[in-house]
Structure 1
Amino acid sequence: MSKRWTAAALVVIAGFGLVACGSNEQPGSTHQARTAVLEDSSPVPVSKNPVASLPTTVTGFDGVPVTITDNSRIVAADRYGTFAATTVALGLGDNLVGRDTSAKFPAVADVPVVTVGGQSLSAEAILNLNPTVILTDTTIGPQSVQEQLRAAGIPVVFFDPTRTLEGVPNQIQAVADALGVPEQGKALVSRTEGEIAAARDLVPDNAEQLKIAFLYLRGTAITMIGGDGSGADSLIEALGAVDAGTASGITSNFVAITSEALIAAAPDAFLVMTDGLASIGGVDGLEKIPGIAQTPAGKNQRVIDMEDGVILSFGPNTGRVMQVLAEAIYGPADS
C-alpha cells in the first residue's frame, strides 16, 4: 500500500474532540508523517464527586489485602499515567493530590508530581502530601519506597502492571473498587468499551492489512522496537494491522533496534511517541538510524506519532486514542 498524505489533512470525529493532523513537516516536504492528536486528553468524568462506599477491602495484585477507609487524598503513580487518568474519569479528580510524570493531561496540571527523574518514587514527596490511599504497580519504584509507605500505615494498592487492550475493563473496575465507587467503575467500563468498539468500526473493511512497528526512541542512546507484550502490539492489532515486531519473531516487549531486526520486521509504517521522535530530530533523524531506510516504511517515510503520555496509557481514554490513530492510519490521502 502506497499513500501520500497531504500536509493539510485535518480530520475531526464529531463528539469526541479528536483530531488526526497531517504532517508537521514544512510545506513541500515529501514526508508522509502524521501526528495523531487527542484534542483534549483529559478523561471525561462519568460522575462528579461520587459518594464512596467505604471502608472497603481489596486484594492487590501482589496478593496483599488492603483496607481503604478514606479516598479524600489519592496518590496515583505508575509508568503510564493510567491510575491518575482512571481516578479523574471516575469523578474523583478533586481528590487526587499526587501523580506520576506520565499523567500530563490538563485536568491534573496543578497536581504535584511525586516521581523523581520521571520514574522514581519520592517517599518524602508522597508523605508530605498526607495521602489516604496510594494506587500503584511494579512499573514504577523502587519497591522499597512503596514498602516504606505501606509500613507508615498508608493503604498501598498494587494493580496489574500489564497494559493491554483486553485488560482495560478489569483495570478500570479494580481501581473503582479500591476507591469505593464500584458503580462508577461499571459505568466507565461500559463507556470505554463502547468507544473501543466505535474505533474498531473505523477500520475500513477493504483495507490492506498493514505491518506497523512501534519504536521507542529517547535520543540516539535508546532506540528500541516493540515486540510481543509491548502494549503497542495489542493496540496495533485492534486497529486491523499486524505488529511488525511480533510478526518478525521478537518475543520480548522491546529489543534494541538493529538493521537485521528492522529488515526482518519490514514494516509498512512506524508508530512512535511524539517526544521520542523529536528527540532524534524528527523524521529526518529517524532515517539516520541504521536499517530504517531499508524498510518499506522508511522508503515511503510513513510515520505516525502521538503524545507520549497518551498513546500507551490503556485507561479510560483508550477508545478515544484508538479512534485518533485509526484516522491517522486510514484517513484521507492523496493518490
Structure 2
Amino acid sequence: MRFPRPPIRRALAPLAAAVAVIAVLAGCSSGASNAAPALGPTAEQACPGSEIPFADVTFTEDPRAVEGPATACLADADLPIVESDETPALPTTVTDAAGEQVTVADASRILALDISGTLAATVFGLGLGDRVVGRDGSTGFAEASDLPVVTQDGHSLSAEAILALDPSVVLTDTTLGPRDALEQLRDAGIPVVVTTSERRVDNVDQVIAEVAEALGVPERGRLLAERVGDDLDAVLARIAASVPADPADRPRAIFLYVRGSANVYYLFGEESGADSLIEAIGAFDVAGEIGWEGMRPVTAEAIAAAHPDLVLLMTGGLESVGGIDGLLEQVPALASTPAGEHRRFVDMADTEILGFGPRTPAVVEALARAIHAPGAGSSAAEATDG
C-alpha cells in the first residue's frame, strides 16, 4: 500500500545513493558502546520564539544578509501520534524492500532499527509505541528514552542484545549491520522486515506505508501519512510564499557532515537526502550547481566552487570540531566564503536534522525559522560558536 504525495522538485533518488550516505554516518560515529544520543531540548528548555505561530513569523527580506550562527530547535518536540481503534490484523505477509516475502504473526514486541531513528519514530507515530521493546543509538526522541539500546560501537547491531529482548518482529533497512546479525535473528525464527533505506523529505509517506503494512495497521498508516503530509504541505506553502521567488536570491546552502574525533569532513550533495532538505527550507542547493553527487570528502576546490552563504551541520558534529572556530581551522576554505565571513552556520540535533520521519514538518519549520527568521525558533549557537 502506498500513500503517494508529489515530490518537491525531482523524483526520488536511487536507493543506493541514500544507503551510501547513511553508511558514512554509521562508519564515522564515535563514542562509547551502546551510548544513547542526546534527546534534545526538554520542556524546561523551551525553544526561543517558538510561541510565535509559524504563520505569523516574519521572514527576513534578505536571508543572505543575516549575521551569526544559530541552532535550530523544534517548536514542539513531541511526536505526532495518531489515535485509532485499529489493532494489528495479523498474520500478514509482505514483500519487503529486499524482495523477500516475510510473514509477521505477532506485533506485541517490536524492534524498529535504522541509522536515523526513522523507523522507531514511525512505529510510535502509528500509536504502537507501547509495543516497542528497544531502540537503536539514533532514536533520540523523548518518548523512547527509557528503552534499552541494542546497537554498539555507534551503530552496529548486537544480535545478542536483540535476542535478549525476545522481539516478535524486527523492522530495519540496509543501513545497520553486520548482515550476520540479521541472519542470526532469522535463524532464531524472528521475522525481519527490510524497509526502504531512502530518507528524503518527499518519501516520508512511503516509509510510513511500509511500516504500517508490515505491522498490519493500514488504517493507522493512512491516518499518519495524511497528518504528516498535511502538516508538511502547510509548512512548505508558508516557506514558498515567503522566500525570494528567484532561487538565485535565496541563500546558497551546503550540508557538511563532520566528526572531528574521526577526522571526517564530508559534503553531502545531490541524491543524499540533504539536498531535499535544503530545497524544502527555501535555500538554494549549491551541490547541484557544482555537480556534487552523493557524499564525498570535502575539498577546498568544492568549497570555493560552492561559495555558500549558509552551512548546515549536526550539532554534535559541530561540537566535535570545537565549534565554528575549530571548523574554520579544519576546513580553512570556508573562511573566505560568505558563510565563513558572516559566521552563518546553522546546526540542529543529530537525531533530528536528517531523520525524515513523522517529525519532518517540524524539522523543516525549525530550520526555516533559523534561516529566514532568526530568533523565532532558534537560539544563538553559544555552545558551538567556538
Give the structure-1-normalised TM-score.
0.88
**Cα distance change of structure 1 residues 311 and 182 upon mapping to structure 2, 3 Å threshold:** same
The answer on 1:156 being equivalent to 2:200 is no
1:274 to 315, 320, 337: 315
Between 85-94 and 286-295, the greater mean CA deviation after superposition: 286-295
Q: Residue by residue, what CA displacement relative to the aligned partner does 1:252-277 show, whole Å, maximum 9, x if unpaired?
A: x2111211111111111000000100
Larger strand percent: 1
1:294 to 311, 336, 345: 336
Secondary structure of 1:276's counterpart equals: helix
The answer on 1:191 being equivalent to 2:233 is no
Letter in 1 for 2:185: L
1:200 to 226, 232, 236: 236
Q: Percent identity at matched positions?
A: 47
- Aligned partner of 1:181 in structure 2 is 217
1:194: Cα distance to partner? 1.1
Q: Residue by residue, what CA displacement relative to the aligned partner does 1:256-308 show, whole Å, maximum 9, x if unpaired?
A: 12111111111110000001001111111122122110211111110110000
Name the structure, 1 or 2, with higher relative contact order (CA <8 Å, separation 6+): 2
Aligned-pair Cα RMSD in Å: 2.0
- Aligned partner of 1:250 in structure 2 is 292
The CA distance in 2 between the partners of 1:152 and 1:105, in whole Å, is 30
Runs of 4 or more, structure 1, over 4 Å off, are 13-16
- Aligned partner of 2:140 in structure 1 is 104
The CA distance in 2 between the partners of 1:144 and 1:13, in whole Å, is 48
Letter in 2 for 1:250: W
1:245: Cα distance to partner? 2.2
**Cα distance change of structure 1 residues 180 and 14 upon mapping to structure 2, 3 Å threshold:** farther
The CA distance in 1 between the partners of 2:226 and 2:119, in whole Å, is 18
Contact 2:75 2:366 in 1 (8 A): no
- Aligned partner of 2:15 in structure 1 is none
1:31: Cα distance to partner? 6.3
The CA distance in 2 between the partners of 1:48 and 1:106, in whole Å, is 22
Structure 1 residue runs without a partner (length 5+): 1-8, 20-29
Larger helix percent: 2
2:181 to 140, 145, 151: 145
Letter in 1 for 2:147: V
1:39: Cα distance to partner? 4.7
The CA distance in 1 between the partners of 2:205 and 2:163, in whole Å, is 30
1:201: Cα distance to partner? 2.5
Contact 1:71 1:132 in 2 (8 A): yes
Contact 2:75 2:362 in 1 (8 A): no
- Aligned partner of 2:50 in structure 1 is 12
The CA distance in 1 between the partners of 2:159 and 2:77, in whole Å, is 28
Secondary structure of 2:346's counterpart equals: strand
The CA distance in 2 between the partners of 1:202 and 1:101, in whole Å, is 33
Q: Residue by residue, what CA displacement relative to the aligned partner does 1:130-149 show, whole Å, maximum 9, x if unpaired?
A: 00000000011111111221
1:261 to 299, 302, 326: 302
**Cα distance change of structure 1 residues 264 and 95 upon mapping to structure 2, 3 Å threshold:** same
Count how many residue pairs are aligned between Structure 1 and Structure 2: 312
Contact 1:168 1:314 in 2 (8 A): yes
Contact 2:94 2:213 in 1 (8 A): yes
1:48: Cα distance to partner? 6.4
Secondary structure of 1:255's counterpart equals: strand
- Aligned partner of 2:280 in structure 1 is 238
Secondary structure of 1:213's counterpart equals: strand
Give the structure-2-normalised TM-score.
0.77
1:167 to 203, 221, 225: 203
- Aligned partner of 1:82 in structure 2 is 118
